Amino acid sequence: MNVNNIQEIEKTLSVRLPKVYVDYMTENRTHNGYLYELDEIVEVNLTDETPIYAPGYVIIASDWGDLRYLMKFGEDETTVYESDAGDMNPMNFTVFSEDFHHFLELLETV
């Protein structure tokens, strides 16, 4: 994935993806199965209607069931939030981890 592809994703979703997420996804060839690939982000977020129900957030991962993991828009964001797929109201999100890399470690235990 190159810079132009990332810029296209950001333009389509009208977001600035968190740098820590983009860096991880572009530097690591293998992912743990929970994280969405960068080329899946647009479809996932449009399908789940994230821009409508959780404006200001982007889904970056799921448990392939009812849970979604989101980050706020913004290059410097590092906090990962958890939400039930049926309740995408940001007021009901819980902080899963305040650090993206810690989030990745937690996923190893799920």
pLDDT, tens only, 20-68: 998 888 887 666 678 998 888 999 999 999 999 999 999 999 988 899 9
Q: What's the per-residue H, E or C state across the chain?
A: CCHHHHHHHHHHHCCCCCHHHHHHHHHCCCCCCCECCHHHHHHHHHHCCHHHHCCCEEEEEECCCCEEEEEECCCCCCCEEEEECCCCCHHHCEEEECCHHHHHHHHCCC
Task: Calculate mean pLDDT across residues 82-90.
Answer: 93
User: What pLDDT, on a 0 to 100 scale, did the predictor assign at position 109?
Assistant: 75
Find the domain containing 66 and state its range: 3-107
Q: What is the CATH number of the domain that holds 15?
A: 3.40.1580.10
Count: domains in the chain: 1
